[in-house]
Amino acid sequence: MPVQLWVSVVELGCFAGLIALGFFLVLRGADVFMFALGPLAMFGAMFGAFQVSRNGWPLPIAALIGVAIAVALSGLTELLIVRPIHRRTGGQENPSIVAIVAILFALEQLAGTLFGRTPLPGTPFWSAQFRWGEAVISGQSIVLVAVTVLAFAGVALWLRRSANGRMLRAVGDNEHAARTLGVPVDRIRLIAFCLAGLLAGVAGSLFAAKAGVSFTSGLQWTLVGFLAVIVGGLGNVWAPLVGAVLVATLQTWSVFEFGHAMRDYLTFAVAFLFFAFRPKGIFQTKVRI
Amino acid sequence: MKSLQTFRRAAVITVAALALAACGSDDEKSGSDPGGDTIVLGMVTDTSGGAAGYASYTSVAIDLAIKEINAAGGLAGKQVSLITESDGSDTTQTPTLTRRLIENGADVILLNSGSASAIAAKGVCVEEKILCVAPTNLSADIIKPPDNDNIYILGPTSAGIGESFAAGMKKAGYSKLAVIADDVPTIQGYVPVLVGAITGAGLTSVAEEKVPADAADVSAQIARVKEAAPDVILVMSLGGQTEALVQNALHQQLPDVQRFSLASIGNQPTTWALADPGALEGLVYAGSIDPGNPRTTEFAAKLAAVGGDKSALTAYGTQGYDSVYLVAEAIKKAGGVADKSKLNETFQQISGYQAHYGQSDFTMSFGPDKHVGSDGNCGLVLAQFGADNKPGAPWSVYQPTC
Amino acid sequence: MTTRTTPVAARGTSPLARHRWAVEAVAAAVFALALVAYGSGASFRQDYVVLICTYSLLALGMYIPYIMSGSLSLAYNAYLGIGAYACGLISTRAGWSSLWGVPIGIVLSAAIAVVLGLATRRLTGFYLAGVTLLFAVAFQVFLLDRVSLTGGPVGMPVRRPHAFGYTFTRYDIMIGAVVLVWIVGLLLSRLRQSPFGVVVRLRKDVPQVVESSGISSGTIGVVSLAVGAAIGSVGGSLFGMMGGVAQPESFGLHIIFLAIFMPLLGGQRSPWGAVIGAVLVVVFTFELHILSDAGTLFFAIAILLVLRFAPLGLLGLGTPLLRLLTRLRMGRTPGGEGS
């Protein structure tokens, strides 16, 4: 593959990795697959892009508020929808899935209604361009990579060192047991959702500069993150990143080698094979008793 | 006893339900307008889906044309009114909405949504024997037999764009063509037509790439194109994010290769903003606006007087405007709308209509076997983008003729 | 929630409950007749009614696996599409009656549902949802990409079905559609009360019990997925035959949303809830113009409200009312009924 494609792989991998890390946190902390993270990233990014391109806001302020909105919406999703439904149904997962899918569609449509149905341009934080042999690397990609590494290292540290982080793993492993042991389950779940919203918001506003953002981007973003989790697994904080880079490589390579349609077939095939033969991903969780 | 009671209850419900249904039908009869005192144009439009971006420009111009006609005394002694339905480019809804327009009294149908919607509505036009005109759709599939007796488009079609591009590319001396198209149905329908016309003129197609709409990254497709080493590239999309992404990448990776694009990009200021500074410079696109056509400038002035953010001069607007006047000409000749088959005949008798878009010698005619109005490819104007990412002068190398 | 798991015998005291089957059949027939009467008017109403029936079958297809056994499959746009394209292919390529497309679509979509279900058998619902969503996306791409098979973006015509030299009209198809929904609804309602239905529902709430009684809960899940897919496919066939064309844009991801939404809106306790959901969706889509721009937003918010505040859907709201009415009519209230 030409070098330029590896640049794309890294960009796509980092972006999908950030979304997947959000999935990872909510899965570990609340045992819920937060499908609405992609649309949350889209919503935050669209807010930022809208304020910058239509109202002339300075980028840092618009982006910051966009991210804050993603965090708030994610927290509200847990407080107003997922938690009450979770309580009422005694922890059945289907009502939660349906609620989250409904939120996914609601966010898409809300963004379309508020910010318009035409795509908005994202603005790079660092618009420099570097030539490296054949390839062109944008400053924005460097920012994205740096933020991704920081986010993963930060989350890894938080999970290991902080009390909340350790409790998060306990809640995900067995909510009932954790509650009995006096772990503040509700608070931990809320933290997981908010952190995931933060990661999604950051990922969205960084990635929007690459290709712009439209109200329909969210579902695609959810799917790449989902795949990254499937391939990577949940055994390790870094697993989603490994999964994301593998998926990005596969998607880019398949288009380069066979053309567009093959990407979606292969993507589905990989998910399918992983489900059938390695359902816990590459890095499996160690069984704790 | 008890079961009797149950059945009695069921019987009561039955009667009530049937009564309700009957009420419903009565309602409808009073709503329709058979031979009433206005001529009703029914328009299927799109206010929320994929075609919403351009359908709104067409709607404004259609409104304008109807107002003008009414101010000038109407048609065959009657005023003209417009009723609309939006299908959101969802083809599951189009046939139903078209039928409902007819039921509500529409005498003529204007199909102002995506090409796929027009195809979905085609069967209804024939079954209900009503005159249907799709002003902005370019797909020749719409008017292909069977079931094409009374459906028309204005054109030039995608085939015309293909022929014009082919002639232009040949004249400029290009030989190896690469195509990048997005995967939206409407666009995918154009690909074989345009590519066929261009390869038919002697160019070789060295690469044909698909890009998903809403793609986040197109570098793999661009890399494939780059490996094929074309000397001319044709980009086909509905515009927007996808088009900008492709144009940016091409500008960066293959800065010296001439690019062509469809009409959409010429009419979308939002897309110009999505492109990197200077990324569109030199791009040739198939526009329909010629500043040298006096009818176009006259129309532009009228539209500007209407005001609002949809009053910018676009091909969509002129085509909507022309479609109303074409229908008006047929109605005048038929002396009204009472006889649907006569109206279809008089529409087919339209000849040499001077359009408000294209080059100044562009005309439209229809006939029993001619369901595309365009009398030649001079309905197109090949224009070129300037360094400011805005459409600039006509392409100096080649212009289509009639 | 526990109200419904009260054994059937305990509820048998009310005459209405004893004749439940007959009442349901008659009430549904009345509704069906009303629908036919409505569709006998202006010609667009026939499209309306068939669309209601298509959506009803879609929602009923969703009903078995999701509502009854708790498997959330999201590939319903594909099942619907398979039904329509099967009719198109068989009628345009082979020149047979498009009716043959119905069984072909049923078998194909059921087979796909089985394969998807088996692959995710050991996983939690989120993964089944995810993998079926990926399949839904791949199916859309397939319809556009395999031009030689599917006709690509333009789609393919579906000829009017014919049998024994008779070609069915739009009106005939409408009647057929209404009858089909009536039958499928009744069968599902029956199935829900049958021993099999009880097992399937048990799987959702207490899978261990089902396992310990010697029935593989995985197998039940897969079977219910297959039946659901087959019903969805019939809906697609119907839609294709009525519209005369199978186009990729008709089978987009919005179908998935509708499929989840309709049974929940109408109510989960009875298959008729799914049908009511379908009627409401069609009426709202076509009759309320205010919604045209923000229709899906409206629906999405409505479903969140339903999930949060009326988990049993509209039928669920009606049940307390109905019970009150029954009590008033019967004059005497059997003690402890339905608690």
C240 domain-assigned: yes
Question: What is the nearest CA distance from B187 to chain A, expressed in angstroms?
Answer: 15
Beta bridge partners of B208: B179
Q: Across the interface, do C253 and A219 touch by the CB < 8 Å criterion?
A: yes
Q: Across the interface, do B224 and A11 touch by the CB < 8 Å criterion?
A: no
- The model's pLDDT over A229-239, given as tens digits with 9 standing for 90+, comes to 988 988 889 99
Architecture of domain A3-277: Orthogonal Bundle (1.10)
CA C318/CA C270 separation, integer angstroms: 12
Owning domain of residue C111: 2-330
User: C71: burial class by Cβ within 10 Å (0-12, 13-18, 19+)?
Assistant: buried
Tell me what pLDDT residue C1 has: 37
Determine contact, residues C231/C245, Cβ cutoff 8 Å: no
CA distances from A201 to A38, A39, B182, B400 (A): 9, 10, 28, 49
C169 contacts chain B (CB < 8 A): no
Q: Which runs of consecutive H residues, i.e. helices, occur in chain C?
A: 8-11, 15-18, 20-39, 43-62, 76-92, 101-119, 125-145, 147-150, 170-193, 195-205, 207-212, 217-243, 254-266, 271-287, 295-309, 313-330
CA B331/CA B343 separation, integer angstroms: 6
Count of structural domains, chain C: 1
Phi/psi for C113 (5° steps) reads: -60, -40
- Domain B38-153+293-376 in CATH: superfamily? Response regulator (3.40.50.2300)
pTM of the predicted model as reported, rounded to 2 decimal places: 0.80
Scanning B294-333 for CB atoms below 8 A from C yields none
- B159-288+381-394: same fold as B38-153+293-376? yes
Q: Cβ–Cβ contacts within 10 Å for residue B360, how many?
A: 13
Q: Considering chain A, what percentage of its residues have pLDDT values greater than 70?
A: 98
Q: Which residue in chain A has the smallest CA separation from C1?
A: A89
C51 domain-assigned: yes
Q: What is the mean pLDDT of residues A248-274?
A: 85
Mean pLDDT in chain B? 86
DSSP state of B203: -
C338 domain-assigned: no
Residue A248 vs residue B311, higher pLDDT: A248
Q: Across the interface, do A275 and C297 touch by the CB < 8 Å criterion?
A: no
C249 contacts chain B (CB < 8 A): yes
CA B62/CA B56 separation, integer angstroms: 10
pLDDT of B13 over the 70 cut: no
Q: Considering chain B, what percentage of its residues have pLDDT values greater than 90?
A: 57
For C13-32, the three-class secondary structure string (H helix, E strand, C coil) is CCHHHHCHHHHHHHHHHHHH
3-state secondary structure at position B88: coil
Question: What is the nearest CA distance from A186 to chain C, expressed in angstroms?
Answer: 18
Q: How confident is the model at residue B24 (pLDDT cuts 50, 70, 90)?
A: very low
Q: What is the mean pLDDT of residues B231-258?
A: 90
Tell me what pLDDT residue B119 has: 86
Q: What is the mean pLDDT of residues B92-105?
A: 89
Q: What is the mean pLDDT of residues A215-232?
A: 88
Tell me what pLDDT residue C293 has: 58
Q: Cβ–Cβ contacts within 10 Å for residue B200, how many?
A: 11
- The model's pLDDT over B154-176, given as tens digits with 9 standing for 90+, comes to 989 988 999 999 999 999 999 99
Residues of B in contact with C45 (CB under 8 A): 28
- Average pLDDT per consecutive 10 residues, chain C (339 residues; last block may be shorter): 41 57 85 88 85 93 80 88 94 88 95 87 74 86 83 82 87 93 91 77 69 68 90 94 85 83 82 89 72 67 82 72 65 41
Q: What is the mean pLDDT of residues A185-191?
A: 91
Question: Would you kindly state where each structural domain of chain B is located, as residue ranges?
Answer: 38-153+293-376, 159-288+381-394
Q: Who's near C69: CB < 8 A, 6+ residues apart?
A: C200, C201, C203, C204, C220, C221, C224
Conformational region of residue B336, where left means phi above 0, alpha means psi within -120 to 50, and beta covers everything else: left
Architecture of domain B159-288+381-394: 3-Layer(aba) Sandwich (3.40)
Segment among A31-40, B256-265, B347-356, C251-260 with least mean pLDDT = C251-260
Tell me what pLDDT residue C322 has: 64
Q: How confident is the model at residue B9 (pLDDT cuts 50, 70, 90)?
A: very low
Tell me what pLDDT residue C292 has: 54
- Nearest-CB residue to B188 (from C41, C153, C239): C153
Q: Which residue in chain A has the smallest CA separation from C204?
A: A92
CA C276/CA C260 separation, integer angstroms: 13
Q: Across the interface, do C37 and B91 touch by the CB < 8 Å criterion?
A: no
Tell me the residues of A at the B interface, defined by beta carbons under 8 Å apart. 1-2, 4-5, 7-8, 11-12, 15, 53, 112, 117-119, 121, 136, 207, 210-214, 216-217, 220-221, 252-253, 255-256, 259-261
Short-list A143, A36, A45, A124, CA closest to A82: A36
Tell me what pLDDT residue B162 has: 93
- Residue C248 maps to which CATH number? 1.10.3470
For chain B, what is the radius of gyration of the CA atoms? 24
Q: What is the mean pLDDT of residues B114-127?
A: 87
pLDDT of A279 over the 80 cut: no
Count interface pairs A-C at CB distance under 8 A: 118
Determine contact, residues C330/A146, Cβ cutoff 8 Å: no
Residue type, C165: G
DSSP string, A32-83: ---TTHHHHHHHHHHHHHHHHHHH---HHHHHHHHHHHHHHHHHHIIIIIIH
Q: How confident is the model at residue B267 (pLDDT cuts 50, 70, 90)?
A: confident
User: C199: burial class by Cβ within 10 Å (0-12, 13-18, 19+)?
Assistant: middle
Tell me what pLDDT residue C303 has: 80
Q: Who's near B4: CB < 8 A, 6+ residues apart?
A: none
CA B318/CA B359 separation, integer angstroms: 13
Tell me what pLDDT residue B12 has: 44
User: B148: burial class by Cβ within 10 Å (0-12, 13-18, 19+)?
Assistant: middle
- The model's pLDDT over B286-305, given as tens digits with 9 standing for 90+, comes to 988 888 899 999 999 999 99
B129 contacts chain C (CB < 8 A): no
CA B129/CA A188 separation, integer angstroms: 66
CA angle B195, B199, B200 (to 5 degrees): 110
- The model's pLDDT over B129-150, given as tens digits with 9 standing for 90+, comes to 999 999 998 888 889 887 888 9
Question: Would you kindly state where each structural domain of chain A is located, as residue ranges?
Answer: 3-277
Segment among A47-51, A135-139, A167-171, C282-286 with least mean pLDDT = C282-286
